[in-house]
Amino acid sequence: MTKKQLIMEKATELFAKQGFGATSIQQITDYCGISKGAFYLSFKSKDELIETLIDQFMIQIISDIDYIVNRSQNEQDILFDFYYTSYRFFQQHLDFARIFINEQMKSINEEVLTKFRSYNERIEKIIMTMIHRIYGEKVTECKFDLMYCIKGFLNLYSELFLYYNVPVDLHLLCQSLVEKTTLLAKHSRIPFMTEEMRLLLQPNNGKITKDYLLDLIEQKVNELEESIEKESLILLKNNLENHTYPPAIVKGLIENIRNHPNCKWFAYLLLQYYQF
């Protein structure tokens, strides 16, 4: 384990117990058994550490649920797989799941709050895609309300293992939530959340640009050893610059990098950029 990984692991434990605000760099270094100088070699500040932890956590869950929603061939299983993957991920990362649920609504750091909002918007976009795939035009008037209900189910039932540590039958829980969500989709008739209200609630955090992707791909290429992933990244860069390959080839190249831990987020961004 590298020193950076040690700091992230131990800081997560402290943040889960005390929260972001109540945890100091001194406490983190004492808990890690390192000096402050060693901390600052890995992170410029506590805020940078927090942002790195948020990125690490959210990149994994968003990439996984996005793949389920957009690549699944069986629409009947999408909703169950969405709930199951989300809860399973929370169970496997309980410490940071607690931080994410507790801190995103009370963060006083604007950059951290903006990051929470940005990832939240991406999750909402994925849920809206899922709703469209499963229910189509049948829920047009109430689609935003349904999206909030799905987010609400995720948050409410996660309390069972986030705070009470009771045994949870995930399969049964997800079956139950699929049933509840489907009932809401079929029988909701009075919409509350409108398109106009949604626009008022969502600040513009910027779109994924070609220049941003090219910068990111340079970093990834430098990080990787010679491999099919590195070769695929180089070809993807060439396509961004010259529009060389047809969509089927681009999709295949993205699939080549999707499961590499250092490329998962980049694959997700490319899929969004090309609107596949």
Task: Give the pLDDT confidence score for residue 113 in this predicted structure.
Answer: 75
Q: Which residues of the chain have pLDDT under 70?
A: 1, 100-109, 196, 199-207
Give per-residue pLDDT as tens, 99-115: 766 666 565 567 777 77
Tell me the one-letter amino acid at 201: L
- Helix then strand count (H, E) for the chain reads 14, 0
Distance between CA atoms of residues 173 and 175, nearest Å: 5
Fold of 53-201: Tetracycline Repressor; domain 2 (1.10.357)
What string of DSSP letters covers 86-124? HHHHHHHTHHHHHHHHHHTTT---HHHHHHHHHHHHHHH
What string of DSSP letters covers 8-27? HHHHHHHHHHH-STT--HHH
Task: Give the pLDDT confidence score for residue 205 in this predicted structure.
Answer: 47
Long-range contacts of 197-203 (CB under 8 A, 24+ apart): 197/144, 198/144, 202/121, 203/117
Task: Give the pLDDT confidence score for residue 173 in this predicted structure.
Answer: 96
Task: Give the pLDDT confidence score for residue 190 in this predicted structure.
Answer: 93
Which class is 3-43 in CATH?
Answer: mainly alpha
Tell me the one-letter amino acid at 6: L
Task: Give the pLDDT confidence score for residue 200 in this predicted structure.
Answer: 59
Q: Which residue has the tokens 């189910």?
A: 153
Task: Give the pLDDT confidence score for residue 224 in this predicted structure.
Answer: 84
User: Which tokens sit at 142?
Assistant: 């109430």
Task: Give the pLDDT confidence score for residue 221 in this predicted structure.
Answer: 86
Residue boundaries of the structural domains of the chain: 3-43, 53-201, 210-274
